[in-house]
């Protein structure tokens, strides 16, 4: 019971903080996303290390470059509002990692190098698309498409899956997820996207299409995180959020959905 109360309370706090950040945008949202990106990156790097090294995990030089690259990337998109300069920062981070990979040879193997750079992209860069979507001219409205695609999909998938789910989606990876639940998640998110677009004076059919695609991607994001955890024998990426696990456990579907929604909206509207 105590665990359930902690989960509900922390969930309410998360909703309040995230909702206010998305509404106000600007430096508030930027700072929150940078914090989440750094904590999520730490959790990801720690998960990649051998189990006996996780308790006293201390980042190596490649991970430090990843953190530094994350901060620089967020600084660039905040002060320049430029996707191009953000891309330059990504390439710069890769080059610096390559430099230390060579200089420190044979301290780091190729899997450590690739994991360090992948984590930077997987956590930091993808999450930044929430900020970039919010800072578009109509971002105060359209940024909610990202949450509708992930959160509403998750709710419908869980409820319908528990009620009528019989056919397993990926039984070896996630025995509780069902095909019925997955389909319901996409349909529910699409319906919510249409209603959101309709009541906000936007193109309901367009919002429905984007949220449907986003919902499919969000489920892949969640399953991808599950693969990482299974491969490295962990239940959660962290314990920062009572009843919910780590930061990465909460944003695993959002970080994949955000860039997809941003790209689809850019293609169809801007």
Question: Residue 234, by phi and psi: left (phi above 0), alpha (psi -120 to 50) or beta?
Answer: beta
Contacts of 90 (CB under 8 A, 6+ apart): 69, 73, 120, 121, 125
CA angle 31, 23, 36 (to 5 degrees): 30
Contacts of 69 (CB under 8 A, 6+ apart): 89, 90, 92, 93, 96, 97, 120, 124
Average pLDDT of 86-111?
A: 95
pLDDT above 90 coverage of the chain, percent: 69
Out of 30-44, 122-136, 158-172, 237-251, least confident range: 237-251
Tell me the C-alpha distance between 80 and 87, whole Å: 12
Q: What is the pLDDT of residue 82?
A: 80
Supply the angle between the helices 204-231 and 153-164 in degrees, to the nearest 10. 70
CA atoms within 13 A on the CB side of 156: 24
Note the Cα 166 to chain centre separation in Å.
28
Average pLDDT of 13-26?
A: 89
165 vs 112, more confident? 112
Look at residue 5 and tell me whether its pLDDT is greater than 70.
Answer: no
Average pLDDT of 209-221?
A: 95
Contact 109/241 with Cβ under 8 angstroms? Answer: no
pTM of model > 0.85? yes
Look at residue 1 and tell me whether its pLDDT is greater than 60.
Answer: no
Tell me the C-alpha distance between 213 and 204, whole Å: 14
**Maximum distance among all alpha carbons in the chain?**
59
Give the residue extent of every domain in the chain.
Answer: 1-19+139-270, 26-134
């Amino acid at each position: 019971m105590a665990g359930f109360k902690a989960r509900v309370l922390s969930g309410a706090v998360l909703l309040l903080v995230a909702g206010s950040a998305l509404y106000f945008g600007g430096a508030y949202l930027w700072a929150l996303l940078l914090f989440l990106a750094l904590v999520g990156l730490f959790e990801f790097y720690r998960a990649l290390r051998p189990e006996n090294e996780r308790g006293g995990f201390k980042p190596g030089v490649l991970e430090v470059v990843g953190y530094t690259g994350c901060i620089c990337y967020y600084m660039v998109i905040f002060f320049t509002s430029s996707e191009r300069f953000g891309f330059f920062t990504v390439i710069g981070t890769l080059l610096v990692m390559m430099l230390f990979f060579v200089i420190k040879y044979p301290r780091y193997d190729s899997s450590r190098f690739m994991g360090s750079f992948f984590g930077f992209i997987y956590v930091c860069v993808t999450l930044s698309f929430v900020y970039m979507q919010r800072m578009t001219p109509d971002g105060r409205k359209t940024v909610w498409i990202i949450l509708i695609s992930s959160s509403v999909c998750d709710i419908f998938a869980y409820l319908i899956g528990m009620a009528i789910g019989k056919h397993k989606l990926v039984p070896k990876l996630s025995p509780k997820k069902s095909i019925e639940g997955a389909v319901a998640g996409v349909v529910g998110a699409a319906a919510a996207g249409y209603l959101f677009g309709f009541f906000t004076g936007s193109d309901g059919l367009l919002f429905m299409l984007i949220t449907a695609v986003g919902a499919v991607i969000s489920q892949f994001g969640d399953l991808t995180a599950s693969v990482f955890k299974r491969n490295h024998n962990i239940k959660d990426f962290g314990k920062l959020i009572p009843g919910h696990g780590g930061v990465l456990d909460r944003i695993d579907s959002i970080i994949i959905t955000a860039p997809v929604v941003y790209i689809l909206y850019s293609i169809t509207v801007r």
